[in-house]
Structure 1
Amino acid sequence: MTEKPVIEFKQVSKKYPNGTVGLKNINLKIPQGEFLVIVGLSGAGKSTLMRTINRMHDISSGDILIDGESIVNLKGKGLRQLRRKIGMIFQNFNLVNRSSVQRNVLSGRVGYYSTWRSMLGLFSKADKQKAVEALQRVGLGEKLYTRADQLSGGQQQRVAIARAFMQDPKIVLADEPIASLDPLTTDSVMNDLKRLNEEFHITVIVNLHSVPLARKYADRIIGLRGGELIYDEPIEKVTEADLDAIYEPAVETKTVKSAEGTPSEVIS
């Protein structure tokens, strides 16, 4: 990988207070503009890996670099600035149900305002217009003044995507964004994420359980099992057999492939 990575994991491990291993010795480089899909069984470490990128989870050892700078010790203003450039999309949408769609989308700009201005909703005319454009981009321009709880699940998730776009993010993290959606709505949400990726060169990282969707949208797929990175290949090298192996029960030591081209043995 010749391009300087926007995100780099160096020997990253995460152990929870109860002793559960979330991540184990992760080494990973993610270039700007990549659409990366993470696959694996429930509990494999997918959400943990993703949430270390915006410091929703702290790591136990190793280092994480964004744009070549370590983020593991950021506090205060430095941490706020990091999170300002990383959009997060959740499985359960994380909208304020009793607020309008406009207010939910504008909340993506709070990192650019003082606390009192954002609490009072004193957003600029330019940002209000930006919110309109963000909603139009996801096909919801007519829902500007609708309450969030009056929308369908798919519409709520697309509002969440518009909110992330309002941050002018360099990176978007989507944690099982289509888990509770029907197939038709799933395609709409994934297409919106892909457009963000392609039109604005935003790095998009998505956790998915659906292998067909992973193959349809990803530039690259990585697989986790038991907190370990066991698979890493660009989409043109991904095979059905590879993906089946990621979901096999962990019963033996296997040699797996990586994007660096070096096989390695892990306990699976």
Structure 2
Amino acid sequence: MQATATQSDPIISFRHVNKIYSNGTVGLKDINFDIPRGQFLVVVGLSGAGKSTLLRTINRMHEISSGEVLVDNESVSDYKGKALRQLRRKIGMIFQNFNLVKRSTVEKNVLSGLVGYYPTWKCVLGLFSADDRKRAFQALKRVSLTNKLFTRADELSGGQQQRVAIARALMQEPKIILADEPIASLDPRTTKAVMDTLQRLNREDGITVIVNLHSVELAQQYADRIVGLRAGELVYDEDIADVTTAALDRVYQTDSEA
């Protein structure tokens, strides 16, 4: 089934987006839907369904083959140079493997969220202002980690590292946060801490949050809306009030089972 939720003022729009890799693999097939400003959207599906590809087309980490991706009603598909850097400033990215510099302190990792605003050499040399450091402290306060300010990243638990990654994204003052399987390697307790943090930023700051998850249970617990992908196609799209477990389970059917 495919139903498209219609809401005004989309912050992101997909217009007949296709992604075909150089080896012929179809990553995305005619993706066509809007994401309203301030929504907490969860994308579900099997591994290889196209979830990561979908997310990475928004900040242009992946190029599309055809169609159009719009952010704030502007097509970003042809952005280059300064325009692309400015796009990525307003989109925070949270990765499954945290992407921290393990031998650096928590503060330095959080400050690296400013790389889109400063020349690379300035970030490498750590030439940040007192105001920047104050902002880093405040970002860590939002994720309850100020006591780890000068701790090396590799001395933190997985859940703490992911919260540092969220604080790093907050340094960008993002309008959008993309989270690609952010809790895949975490235990249930730290999973809750990370998902609660993302939900709080969505609710309190109005940040549009898009999260890829395998867990149907977590999707139902946190999402305003759930979309499902199978083999690169959008096969499910419902606001949370209309989501049923039975319908969601069909997203996970293989072609032989469908």
TM superposition score category, shorter chain reference: over 0.9
Please give the secondary structure, in 1, of the residue aligned with 2:115: helix
Match of 1:87 among 82, 89, 92: 92
Q: 1:15 to 1:214 in 2, by over 3 A?
A: same
2:57 aligned with 1:46: no
The 5 A counterparts of 1:1-268 are 1-251=6-256
With the length of structure 1 as denominator, give the TM-score of the two structures. 0.93
- Shift of residue 20, structure 1, vs aligned partner: 0.4
2: CA distance between counterparts of 1:115 and 1:177?
26
Instruction: Give 3-state SS (helix, strand or coil) of 1:58's partner.
Output: coil
2:116 aligns to what SS in structure 1?
helix
Contiguous gaps of at least 5 residues in structure 1: 253-267
AA aligned opposite 2:111: L
User: Displacement of 1:119 after TM fit?
Assistant: 2.1
Distance in 2 of aligned mates of 1:2 and 1:29: 8
Instruction: Give the gaps of 5 or more residues in structure 2.
Output: 1-5
* Partners of 2:38 and 2:202 within 8 A in 1: yes
SS class of match (1:111): coil
When normalised by structure 2's length, the TM-score is 0.96
Q: Deviations over 1:95-153 (max 9, x none)?
A: 00011000000011121112332222111211101111111111110100000001111
Q: Secondary structure at the match of 1:112?
A: coil
Cα root mean square deviation, aligned: 1.0
**Stretches of 4+ moved more than 3 A in 1?**
none
After superposition, the C-alpha distances for 1:132-176 in whole angstroms (9 at most, x for unaligned) are 111111111010000000111111001001001111000000000
